[in-house]
A = this chain, B = another copy of it.
């Protein structure tokens, strides 16, 4: 594996890692319905404003969302909507896992 391959692998993993947190995944799901300001999330997510802001920063650095300041508010939006297509597959993984656990009970 070349150094370039390694870098690409690392970059891809970073994106997935950014998605790998309940709060951030929730944010992505919400953003798939449309843009949202930080304050909008602060209400829904039961966390500190600063925590919400930091999670959004992680998503931004991963390249998953864009932000735009309008007035006093900062609006975030999903940059690449295709990430939502992951969800079906993830659910398939969970189902397959559940099925395997059920197998153990037989």
Q: How far is B94's CA from A9's CA once the two chains are assembled, in angstroms?
A: 11
Contact status B80-A89, CB under 8 Å: yes
Q: Residues of A with Cβ closer than 8 Å to B?
A: 1, 6, 8-22, 24-26, 44, 62-64, 66, 79-80, 82-83, 85-94, 96-97, 100
List 26 contacting pairs A-B, 8 Å CB cutoff, sorted by A: A1-B44, A8-B94, A9-B22, A11-B94, A12-B25, A12-B87, A12-B94, A13-B20, A13-B22, A15-B93, A15-B94, A16-B16, A16-B19, A16-B86, A17-B17, A17-B20, A19-B20, A63-B97, A64-B93, A79-B93, A79-B100, A80-B89, A80-B92, A80-B96, A82-B88, A82-B89
